[in-house]
Structure 1
Amino acid sequence: MTSHQNTQTMKPATAAKKLGVYLEATPAEFQEGVVSRAELVALQTDPPQWLLDLRRDGPHPRPVVADRLGVSIAGLARGGVTEALTTEQIEELRSENPEWLPRERATQAEVRKEAARLEEKKADEAAQSRDTRS
């Protein structure tokens, strides 16, 4: 009995998400095909020019926009940003510094601080649990 190795593939939307790019801005052949795991690895390790350009100039998907602005995706929505933005548009937002941006950055900083506190608490509890069993 021989074993057949199936090539795992993913939809273009999944591949675009893993690559951190906006699907609608990718070439038509990328959008219309399927991407194998090997192709994804190749795109990650040796990106073609179109991928380099997209990562540099955009348009960027909302998770990337949020990360570059230092806010959450929900914070973007509260600020009225619901579409993909180019690097230039992100820089314009930074320089304009609309009222919502510092507020959402502060909110995001608090969320991260709380997550770090909870992680530290969890680690302390795990250490105490190990110490009591010893």
Structure 2
Amino acid sequence: MKTQDFERRFSHNLAPVGARKATKSLPCLHLTFIQQTLYNVYINNLLYTTRDRMMTNIIIDDQLMADALKATGLKTKQEVVELGLKTLIRLKQQEKIKAFKGKLKWEGNLEEMRHNQ
């Protein structure tokens, strides 16, 4: 979300105390330098944390990316990275589940359950 979009969407929350409605100009023009700085930090933090995606620059081996694109059939590098992260998370969760092997007590007849399906 860009700053202009944020200010348009949330300008009613940024109006000076006692104001009936926010003006079209920036609501922070009347602030001191320190207040302006805090306002900018607040806005930037809010813009950064309200997004559902994060912009990140990473260095990836070109051949590795080409192989991943070819192997998956995906069209973009972003899709490959997201699939890789989701796969890594799923594998780590499976490792945690494997730690319970032999530690959980199970009662029942597996053959009977299979025949009931």
* Structure exhibiting the larger radius of gyration computed from Cα positions: 2
TM-score above 0.5: no
Shorter chain as normaliser: what TM range?
under 0.3
Q: Which has the higher helix share?
A: 1
Structure with more contact order per residue of length (Cα contacts < 8 Å, sep ≥ 6): 1
TM-score by length of 2: 0.27
